[in-house]
Structure 1
Amino acid sequence: MKILVATEKPFAKAATDGIKKIADEAGYELVLLEKYTDVNDLYKAVTDVDALIVRSDKVTQEVINAAKNLKIVVRAGAGYDNLDLKACSGRNIVAMNTPGQNSNAVAELAIGMMIFMARNNFQPGTGSELKGKKLGIQAYGNVGKLVAPLAKSFGMEVYAFDPFVPASVMEKDGVHVASSVEELYSTCNYISLHIPATPETKESINFELLTKMPKGGCLVNTARKEVIHEADLMKALEERPDLKYITDIMPGSHAELAAKFGTRYFSTAKKMGAETAEANINAGLAAARQIVAFFTKEDTTFQLNK
């Protein structure tokens, strides 16, 4: 078996070394394509490989067409909108992600962003504390369930809404269960978004929801930019001068938002959730292990295109 690791932005050396060790122990050949700048290099590299590991690299129909022997592709990370699942299915290629491997890094970032906004972007002036505030977690999955105890350690009262998670799971963690997304927004001073970008969730965070938040409300988005209705976000921030928004996925209207709202708005230059050495290593090793399990045990636990 031949595995290609194709990364415009390479894994940390420890991750690459670990992936190689896993491949070697399984008797597989490992090939690296790092820091490539021409997609044609990717087309050439995938021609004869059986498995592909990527980070944010796009696995398009063209990549699939070029990969004549490809049987599995694994996105090292939770989000998988860079994988053309339809194209993979058309060739009976199994597509996977590595859920949970970046979760702690994202959870810590979400808390850090709350502190940053509470303290005026670390600019002079009187800020506020997280203690005693109510945090609403929208989607109680791998990340959300890690945000909850971190927030509680700051003395926050934690609420969550997730129609796909039993209320008993959240209650066991000492989290108040919101009966609806509207209740979550109207109750909480901070909302931390952890929903995926799906046809149902895209642009679902709209003016109506945002303006339900209490005075001084702050939305924290470490999920996907597509879930935000940007025109509604702009309108909400204009009509509610107390609202705040912070994200690690730069909006299309970033320049206008930054110019209009000062310290009430902040976006990182690029997605930062998984940007820790630990998350980088965890996701890379998980991807390699999943490939070996697929070939040796026909394990498709994390298959996305079922």
Structure 2
Amino acid sequence: MRKILIATEKPFAPSAIKKIGKIFKKEGYDLLLLAKYSSKEELLKRIPDVDAAIIRSDKFDAEVLDAAKKLKIVVRAGAGYDNVDLDAATRKDIVVMNTPGQNSNAVAELAIGLAIFGIREMFSGKPGGELRGRTLGLHGFGFVARNVFRIARAMGMKVIVYTRYSKHAAAAIGLKVTNSLEQLYEKSDIVSIHVPARGEHIKSVSYEVLKHLKDGSILVNTARKEVINETDLLKIMEEKPGLKYMSDITPDCEADFVEKFEGRYFFTPKKAGAQTAEANINAGVAAAEQIVGFFEKGDKTYQVNK
């Protein structure tokens, strides 16, 4: 009997666990739960004899993967997978997958919500503005950005995008693609970041890009803090006193924001993009189905460590 471990510091909702359990029960798999664990040692004790694992933001580094003697596949229930050491997994012939698109609407709604919160002066009582008629710039054009576009267009916003790899797809649905990232930031009233924290995107939001923002614009980040050059962000916040930064990722330089930029920023207490009941269920069920497909059919469609 195959053993499947769900290892989640931030656990799935009970309804999601119930649906995941049904999928594995049908195949005769044994489901094990490690939820709300408080130390890496707990994970290290449970991982050695499981065949597969479903995780969320949990760290699967080389130490964890080396301890996983039987592990064949780990699925990150969500889009980002920078919490998994891909090189270590590849060395051990462990397949790593994510579940792209399952959380995208939840994150998109949060991005729009943060934009509203910012433009309405964080509901402080000060007169704010409206999104209708404003230009929204999408930095990246993945699943989340496409949902942001759908919502923003319905709210009467003009939406533009910068993407290197999906220009034709963006143009096909009526989006204007800017010639450069700098042009996107220059022309936007609100910029929403939707790129992964890897490769060329690490610290890609630098001073050379940020300096093109309008004073009074809003920068929304529901991606990862690693895509921001925080030193440059602090510099531009000082140079443009009307700029706001809204994010569901608390930056390492939070103390500087608290000290210098009161009323011009907001960070959720924990990463909140995928924290909806619907996204919770969608991502968990997708992860379970991908594990079954891998073992029963050899399906590696969503493998990320190829």
Give the TM-score category using the shorter length: over 0.9
Structure 1 position 269, deviation (Å):
1.2
CA offsets per residue over residues 224-256 of structure 1, 9 Å max, x none?
A: 001111111111010111211111000011121
Structure 2, unpaired ranges of 5+: none
**Paired residue for 2:40?**
39
**Paired residue for 1:140?**
141
Q: Is the 8 A contact 2:121 2:263 kept in 1?
A: yes
Structure 1 position 289, deviation (Å):
0.3
Q: Is the 8 A contact 1:48 1:70 kept in 2?
A: yes
- Residue type matched to 1:252 in 2? D
Structure 1 position 179, deviation (Å):
1.4
**Paired residue for 1:260?**
260
1:99-248 correspondence to structure 2 within 5 Å: 99-167=100-168, 169-248=169-248
Q: Is the 8 A contact 1:293 1:299 kept in 2?
A: yes
Name the SS of the counterpart of 1:263 in structure 2.
coil
Structure 1 position 172, deviation (Å):
2.5
RMSD over aligned Cα, in angstroms? 1.0
- Tell me, yes or no, if structure 1 residue 48 matches structure 2 residue 60: no
**Paired residue for 1:273?**
273
- Residue type matched to 1:202 in 2? I
Q: Is the 8 A contact 1:258 1:266 kept in 2?
A: no
Name the SS of the counterpart of 2:174 in structure 1.
coil
Distance 1:293 1:112 in 2: 36
Q: Is the 8 A contact 1:2 1:29 kept in 2?
A: yes
- Residue type matched to 1:181 in 2? L
Number of matched pairs: 305
Normalised by the length of structure 1, the TM-score is 0.98
Structure 1, unpaired ranges of 5+: none
Structure 1 position 166, deviation (Å):
3.1
CA offsets per residue over residues 21-74 of structure 1, 9 Å max, x none?
A: 000111111111112112222112111111011111111111111111110001
1:16-95 correspondence to structure 2 within 5 Å: 16-95=17-96
- Tell me, yes or no, if structure 1 residue 287 matches structure 2 residue 287: yes
- Residue type matched to 1:172 in 2? A
Structure 1 position 262, deviation (Å):
1.4
Distance 2:199 2:176 in 1: 27
Distance 1:95 1:122 in 2: 42
- Tell me, yes or no, if structure 1 residue 303 matches structure 2 residue 306: no
Q: Is the 8 A contact 2:62 2:88 kept in 1?
A: yes
- Residue type matched to 2:9 in 1? E
Structure 1 position 171, deviation (Å):
2.2
Name the SS of the counterpart of 1:53 in structure 2.
strand
* Aligned sequence identity (%): 53
| 14-23 or 32-41, larger mean C-alpha shift | 32-41
Task: Flag as ranges the 4+ runs of structure 1 deviating above 6 A.
Answer: none
Normalised by the length of structure 2, the TM-score is 0.98
Name the SS of the counterpart of 2:199 in structure 1.
coil
Name the SS of the counterpart of 1:101 in structure 2.
coil
| 170-179 or 181-190, larger mean C-alpha shift | 170-179
Name the SS of the counterpart of 2:54 in structure 1.
strand
